[in-house]
Amino acid sequence: MKKKLRDFIFHELVFVAEPDQFSDDDDLLEAGLDSMGIMRLIMFIENEYGVTLPDTEIEPDNVQSFNALAHWILRHQNG
């Protein structure tokens, strides 16, 4: 899951010089993920994983890192 997220984010939304050095806990918002990018990311996740991520849960804690994103997705896949 995280590999697909990383590929999408680093190819479509955020430029980092060395994506391999970006850890699963590094801050995606500080790296340049903005509100438009978050919306594109949510559409990607919903299409890719067949989940619905509620608008009320779009907050930094859920989109700040790859680990946070994976946890958010898993909560809705199992719920």
Nearest in space to 40 (alpha carbons), one of 22, 28, 24, 30:
28
Asked whether the predicted pLDDT for residue 4 surpasses 80, the reply is yes
Domain of 21, CATH number, reads 1.10.1200.10
pTM score, two decimals?
A: 0.91
Q: What is the pLDDT of residues 57-75, one digit of tens each?
A: 999 999 999 999 999 999 9
> Integer distance in angstroms from the first to the last C-alpha of the chain?
17
What does the buried/exposed string (b/e) look like for 23-61 if buried means 16 or more CB atoms within 10 Å of the residue's CB?
eeeeebeebebeeebbebbbebbeeebebebeeeeeeee
Which residue segment(s) compose the domain that 55 sits in?
Answer: 2-78
Q: With contact defined as beta carbons under 8 Å apart, do 63 and 9 qualify?
A: no
Check residue 40 and report its DSSP letter. H
The model's pLDDT over 38-61, given as tens digits with 9 standing for 90+, comes to 999 999 999 999 999 999 999 999
Count up the domains in the chain and report the number: 1
Other residues' Cβ atoms within 10 Å of the Cβ of residue 73:
20
% of residues, the chain, pLDDT over 70: 99
Instruction: Specify the pLDDT at position 52.
Output: 95
pLDDT band at 79 (very low <50, low <70, confident <90, very high): low
